Amino acid sequence: MSDKTLQDFDISGFQEKLIDWYQANKRDLPWRLDKDPYKVWVSEIMLQQTKVDTVIPYFQRFLTKYPTLYDLAYADQQDVLKTWEGLGYYSRARNLQNAVREVVESYGGEVPDNSKDLGALKGVGPYTKGAILSIAFNQPEPAVDGNVMRVLSRVLKIEDDISKAKVKKKFESYTKELISHDDPSSFNQGIMELGALVCTPKSPMCMLCPVQEYCRAFAEGIEEDLPVKSKAKKQKTIPYVTLLIRNEKKQYIIEKRSENGLLANMWQFPMVPINEIGMEHIENWFQMEYGVNVKIGNKQGKLKHVFSHIIWQIDIYDATTDSDCANDDRIRFVNHDELDDYPFPVSHQKMMKYMD
């Protein structure tokens, strides 16, 4: 390496302390029961942007429903989304299914154990690739995410901005140097576990830390100042009106989102971008768009849903219609019980309390 970050750093001492601590303290998580690459893969995709406690019941349900790659590969996408419902970041589920299908079709159902083929699968970025190769195949590959960068920025006292892509690359090359070749799986999982349990974002528990003697930030008392991370851009707020449209048979209109982009292929109550349409034009717009007459009633409530890049600010109205069918595949009339058959994003599940 050209820089001096790892100069004088006791790599083998650090590895030993970390791995011993991990072996003695690792949590009993369902995806740690065996090293099946498919299960490791599913767990790592679910754990992106999502907390362990939230993931556990989803992981168990998912694996009960799709115990092998073959079960997932040709499952109905709507069922897969339904099983993922509530976890968010639904493109993860779609990409996972596409990639699993490719593994079945191009690799005889065996998850590739090499960086090139594995990294070329949809949704398998450098982190997921490293996690699968190290945990399932015991290869010394770095698996660097925000959690790992936090721990290593403190241990090695790295003051670069971790939100920059080139800094992440730097961390990957440090991890390549640091990783144990005897037990890469425990090494990578040890750093992740340390970040989750001890070296937490706020108030790290340095007094209990197994690698405290190696930690440069602790030695200088600057552990809470690291990592350096520039603030993400503020999300744009988009106002919507959502319509809970009911007919006399107590059926509601639901609408399918487009097959690309945010929440692709999920279902929702019709949602109108109010800045573009204008409140007074909604009834007209709905007739033009879907060929269905609606009459808007009262405002029932409002809610805000925050995504990583935008915020939905939604006003919820009830509405009525005299139709019970539409000549448009994008909408359906369903009764209350049938809603369970459709994958809904969390924001729209919350609106169900306003239904009769």
What is the closest distance, in whole angstroms, from the C-beta atom of residue 10 to ligand SF4 in the complex? 14
Amino acid at 162: I
* Nearest CA among 89, 78, 123 for reference residue 343: 78
- Of 23-31, 161-169, 185-193, 213-221, the window that binds ligand SF4 (rule: CB under 6 A) is 213-221
The rounded distance, in Å, linking the Cα atoms of 226 and 150 is 7
For the CB of residue 194, give the shortest distance to ligand SF4 in the complex, in Å.
7
Task: Check residue 218 for interaction with ligand SF4 (CB under 6 A).
Answer: yes
CA 312 to chain centroid: 19
Residue 177 annotated among the catalytic residues of the structure: no
Contact pick of 19, 111, 135, 155 for ligand SF4 (by CB under 6 A): 155
Are the C-beta atoms of 175 and 158 separated by less than 8 Å? no
Output 66 or 218, the one with its CB closest to ligand SF4: 218
Letters for 264-293 (x = contact with ligand SF4 by CB under 6 A, - = none) are ------------------------------
Q: Give the strand pairing for 271-273 and 267-268.
A: unpaired
Closest approach, Cβ 208 to ligand SF4, in A, equals 8
199 sits near ligand SF4 (criterion: CB under 6 A): yes
Closest listed residue to residue 158, CA positions, set 256, 58, 227? 227
User: Does residue 73 belong to the site contacting ligand SF4 (CB under 6 A)?
Assistant: no
Stretch that binds ligand SF4, among 184-192, 201-209, 271-279, 339-347 (CB under 6 A): 201-209
The torsion angles phi and psi of 180, rounded to 5 degrees, stand at -75, 135
Query: Does the protein bind ligand SF4 through residue 198 (CB under 6 A)?
Result: yes
Contact 257, 268 (CB under 8 A): yes
**Where does residue 227 rank: exposed (0-12), middle (13-18), buried (19+ CB within 10 A)?**
buried
Taking CB under 6 A as the criterion, the residue among 141, 145, 223, 255 binding ligand SF4 is 223
Q: Is 144 among the residues that bind ligand SF4 (CB under 6 A)?
A: no
Q: Is 193 a residue that touches ligand SF4 (CB under 6 A)? A: no
CA-nearest of 99, 123, 132, 117 to 49 is 123
Q: Which residue in 16, 44, 220, 223 is the catalytic one?
A: 44
> Is the CB of 151 or the CB of 192 nearer to ligand SF4?
151
Measured from the CB of residue 226, what is the shortest distance to ligand SF4 in angstroms?
8
Encoded tokens for 268:
């929702």
List the Cα angle 349/84/28 in 5-degree steps: 120
CB of 223 to ligand SF4, least distance (A): 4
> Under the criterion CB under 6 A, does residue 211 sit at the interface with ligand SF4?
yes
Q: Taking Cα atoms as reference points, which of 113, 137, 75 lies closest to residue 96?
A: 75
3-state DSSP assignment of residue 318: strand
Residues annotated as catalytic are: 44
- Residues binding ligand SF4 (CB under 6 A): 151, 154-155, 198-199, 204-206, 209, 211-212, 215, 217-218, 223
